[in-house]
Amino acid sequence: MENNTTIFQDVTQVVNLTQIPLNPLEEQVITIFLTMLICGVGIAGNIMVVLVVLRTKHMVTPTNCYLVSLAVADLIVLLAAGLPNISDVVAFWIYGYTGCLCITYLQYLGINVSSCSITAFTIERYIAICHSIKAQFICTVSRAKRIIAGVWIFTSLYCTMWFFLVNTNETVYTNGVVVTCGYRVSRSLYMPIYFLDFTLFYVIPLIVATVLYGLIARILFMSPLPSHLNDRAGGGSVHQGHSNSTGKASKGAVSARKQITKMLAVVVVLFALLWMPYRTLVVVNSIIDPPYHNTWFLLFCRMCIYTNSAINPIVYNLMSQKFRVAFKKLCKCSWRHKEAEYNVPMYYSVMKNSTSNEPVTEQEEVSGHTAKRFTSPPTDNEASALSTS
């Protein structure tokens, strides 16, 4: 993505006898409000995604490793593209030549890594569901970490070209000089680069996602289920109790696979929709002359990009119970520490969890057993043991 001051502009050093143009007040207010709101929610949410995966052992899965990579990339986009937009709409470019190079580089790095991460977890889901036997050896955490490292190295090297493509430009007005971060050469020379980015990091990922999620849907939502997903559903065993429990477990596993697949598909759809205005405008402006420079539509494109980087943690919270529980535990962490400092009995929160209407997760089962054990107030020895555990 281009810098906020360089989006669809070709700025050269000229002498302008007019006064410095200022952005309308309503544009400043709306831009600052939306940017702070979206970036604030996005930065907090993506940091939470990284923390809950890194701090919770059962959350370290191949898919979640790719989601951490996506969260870090989204953080870079919000910090390098969103926050500079606040100062840029009020004044002009204040970060100098080094800031122009580094911020532009980080913008494209975050954008490209997020696209590659989405493609990676799409392929991982396809292998895990459509080739479940091979997935035991292919879809591992160690392999996911190596793939993520390769994605970051590749995109880091690919984006270095922007160090040579942008520069600060000065425009002299009667009442001062305006510095902007713009193009180093004529904008027409950037068309191959924009089309290459458009193809590598938007068109190809969406084609891959469309094909693979179509194959996943055929396997996962077909009736009856394939044998490798339903081979332990029971039915012919003389041990009826074991058969029923195994069948329930199999149905639960299939349901969990469907849910995580739906969640990741929503992430891909949002990526396609929220990036479409900007990507389309870049392609159109590379063809038409003069380019389309409507201020409000450019603001809309930028807000869509920031929203795409901010909305994924919300999707995880709404569609994944494991993430929802992990987010709640992370938010209550400081409260629990304060509770322990004031020596509040721990069995109160345990009993509260046992009466929750939410489905019990693997991690909550331990708390559930503990709640049943201490349904009556513990003795002094039990309370001290709980408070020190």
Give the model's confidence band at 252: pLDDT under 50 very low, under 70 low, under 90 confident, else very high: low
Q: Is the pLDDT of residue 339 over 80?
A: no
pLDDT band at 367 (very low <50, low <70, confident <90, very high): very low
Tally the C-alpha atoms within 13 A of residue 124's C-alpha that lie toward its C-beta.
25
The region of weakest confidence among 191-205, 300-314, 353-367 is 353-367
Residue percentage of the chain with pLDDT more than 90:
44
pLDDT of residue 5: 43
Q: Is the pLDDT of residue 56 over 50?
A: yes
Residue 370 pLDDT exceeds 50: no
For residues 363 and 51, the model is more confident at 51
Indicate if the pLDDT at residue 334 is higher than 90: no
Query: pLDDT per residue over 180-190, tens digit each?
Result: 888 887 777 78
Question: pLDDT band for position 305 (50/70/90)?
Answer: very high
pLDDT at residue 242, rounded to an integer: 46
What is the average pLDDT across 283-312?
A: 90
Query: Minimum mean pLDDT among 57-61, 232-236, 317-321, 360-364: which range?
Result: 360-364
Region 23-48: mean pLDDT is 93
Model pLDDT for residues 115-156, shown as the tens digit of each residue: 999 999 999 999 998 888 888 889 999 999 999 999 999 999
pLDDT at residue number 225: 53
* Under 8 Å between Cβ of 183 and 6: yes
Residue 339 DSSP class: H
Q: Where are the beta strands (DSSP E) in the chain?
A: 14-15, 166-173, 176-183
pLDDT exceeds cutoff 50 at 347: no
pLDDT of 306: 96
- % of the chain at pLDDT higher than 70: 73
Whether 39 and 82 have beta carbons less than 8 Å apart is answered as yes
Does the structure show a pLDDT above 50 at 237? no
27 pLDDT more than 70: yes
Q: Can you tell me the mean pLDDT for 369-386?
A: 37
What is the distance between the alpha carbons of residues 267 and 236, in angstroms, rounded to a whole number? Answer: 40
Stretch among 14-18, 38-42, 294-298 having the lowest mean pLDDT? 14-18
pLDDT at 254 over 80: no
pLDDT for 383 beyond 70: no
User: Region 74-98: what's the mean pLDDT?
Assistant: 88
In whole angstroms, give the CA distance from residue 218 to residue 121: 18
Phi, psi (rounded to 5 degrees) for 168: -85, 140
Give the pLDDT score at 373. 37
**Residue 172: beta bridge partners?**
15, 177
List of residues 6+ apart from 315 with CB closer than 8 A:
263, 266, 267, 270
Domain annotation for the chain: domains and CATH numbers: 14-331 (1.20.1070.10), 333-388 (no CATH)
DSSP state of 160: G
pLDDT of residue 149: 97
- The pLDDT value given to residue 41: 96
Question: What number is the average pLDDT over the span 279-290?
Answer: 84
N- to C-terminal Cα distance for the chain? Answer: 50
Lowest mean pLDDT among 12-16, 29-33, 294-298: 12-16
pLDDT digits (tens, 9 = 90+) for 88-97: 787 778 888 9
Better-predicted residue by pLDDT, 3 or 104 = 104
| Phi (first) and psi of residue 22, to 5 degrees | -115, 145
Cα within 13 Å of Cα(74), Cβ side = 33
Mean pLDDT (whole number) for 160-166: 92
